[in-house]
Amino acid sequence: MNWIINRDENWYLGGESGSGKSVLLTAIADKDKKTEIQVNVLNKSKLKPVCLYISQWYQFKNLEGVANFYYQQRYNKQQLKDTLTVGQELALYGKENQLDFTELDQILIALNFSSFKDAQLIELSSGEHKKLQLIKAIWLKPQLLLLDQPYTGLDINSRTNLNILLDYLASQGVRFVIACSEHELPKCINKYACIENGQIKELNGVLPVVRTIPLITKVPSFLQQTPKPNADVMVKMVNVNISYGDKQVIKNLNWEVKAGEKWLLQGHNGSGKSTLLSLVNGDHPQSYANELYLFGSKRGSGESIWDIKSHIGLISPELHWYFDKEASVWQSIASGFFDSVGLFNNLGYHKTQQVNELLDYFGLTEDKNELLVNLSLGKQRLALLARTLIKNPELLVLDEPCQGLDEQQTAHFNQLIDGICSTERTLIYVSHNQQQLPQKLTHRLVLNQGEVIENSTYNLEKELA
């Protein structure tokens, strides 16, 4: 590969999921380079003489310096004092890098993050973690900033404001490479390229991804058999309230999801979507203190968390982040039968065939024995989407399911969701992107600061029109 980034250029970098975008950006930023990559910085500049890479995931540690977190930890108030607060994290970062603290408040306001200063890092959702990554990068003002999927998990307003901030940084001399599948880029982007077969291909503009491998469109046979709903009302919440100390994240919420309904759940970052879904999934301990009904039974009436999860197929950014990446692709998918993080049971013939069908559908057959951690994030997400579907659940809870996927993979997955969402299967789908939704959504719930501001029927075609 040959690539030259000149000092007056800001690049968009595209390509299929797994084409090597993250690998390339990591190599450019790697301080212990073993490749012939040269990054030249100006010593006489107001900008930091560094090349900074912002990865797709935000990595943080607890107060003991380790990152051994578990999926439900952010909902357990007994565990919330295990990490720094956002304010403490930013204070340390600013001190280490000798940054101007008067600039920080402006960045926090622009990304609507001022109210999170006292929040523990473990409390933040994936979108909020992404904002914290971006705030630190913008505050630092490096000479070269490499952004890997910077819009992932951000609400519409935050995406718009991020582009404004990036344009401002560009006017100050910061240069960018932005790897993403978005088309609404900052105005400062003036060069376009994609990675094809391990090579840089310069483009005239942002173009759709053209895949070289045909995707299977036939719905796997076992998913064509819609499971019978266990109850007429799958989820019912009556005046639900969730608080952490003085902070109330869900306020007097009423919501009913009937069998066969397909809900779009939306709201800005920090509006309470993840907390609401944790009640549906049985993961939130405060569900026992509220009037909550799941699959026809009141929460706390003798059912176990495994009874609840047996009805649900779940994917979320947090589940992906905490998942056992040392499991193989095959084991990761098969673990969905048992709602475990990793596979600890043997499968019979029919369940094995179901795993193989989904491997074929998602194009993962050749990767089935690879460790999940060794795959691109896009392929990791495909494996976990297959895990979500493997037991053919009556309720699908899909929280930003297409994060990390390219446009073709996103369309492929949503086509499958439309194909299996008959009149009896129930769906809760979370996405900030109106252009990346399945067609069969019937209702929408919108949250703002933990309160319902819209509960209505929904038609995607009318919305886009």
User: Starting from the edge strand earliest in sequence, which strands make up the sheet with 11-14, in order?
Assistant: 48-54, 142-148, 175-179, 11-14, 191-196, 199-203
Task: With a cut of 50, list the residues of the chain below it in pLDDT.
Answer: 66, 71
221-464, what's its fold? Rossmann fold (3.40.50)
Predicted pLDDT of residue 370: 95
Q: Give tens-digit pLDDT for 141-162.
A: 999 999 999 998 899 999 999 9
Tokens of residue 254, six digits:
């009423």
- Separation CA 76–CA 206 (nearest Å): 43
The number of residues making up the chain comes to: 465
Where do runs of H (alpha helix) occur along 63-155?
86-96, 101-110, 126-140
Q: Phi and psi dihedrals of 143, rounded to 5?
A: -70, -35
CA 113 to chain centre: 18
- Separation CA 103–CA 97 (nearest Å): 14
Query: What angle, 0 to 180 degrees and rounded to 10, lies between the N-to-C axes of helices 101-110 and 86-96?
Result: 140
* Residue 350: partners with Cβ closer than 8 Å, 6 or more residues away: none
- CA separation (Å) from 386 to 30, 92, 166, 354, 430? 33, 40, 36, 10, 17
Predicted pLDDT of residue 193: 95
Residue ranges of the chain that CATH labels 3.40.50.300: 11-203, 221-464
CB count in 10 Å sphere of residue 172: 10
- CA separation (Å) from 9 to 183, 267, 408, 420? 18, 35, 28, 45
Predicted pLDDT of residue 372: 92
Share of the chain above pLDDT 90, in %: 63
Strand pairing class (199-203; 191-196): antiparallel
Q: Is the Cβ–Cβ distance between 322 and 69 less than 8 Å? A: yes
Q: Phi and psi dihedrals of 446, rounded to 5?
A: -120, 130
The superfamily in CATH containing domain 11-203 is P-loop containing nucleotide triphosphate hydrolases (3.40.50.300)
* Residue 10: partners with Cβ closer than 8 Å, 6 or more residues away: 170, 175, 176, 177, 178, 186, 188, 189, 190, 191
Q: Is the Cβ–Cβ distance between 176 and 145 less than 8 Å? A: yes
* Residue 394: partners with Cβ closer than 8 Å, 6 or more residues away: 227, 228, 229, 230, 234, 259, 311, 424, 425, 426
Predicted pLDDT of residue 66: 47
Coil, strand, or helix at residue 446? Answer: strand
Of 160, 347, 204, nearest to 355 by C-alpha is 347
Predicted pLDDT of residue 80: 53
pTM of the model: 0.90
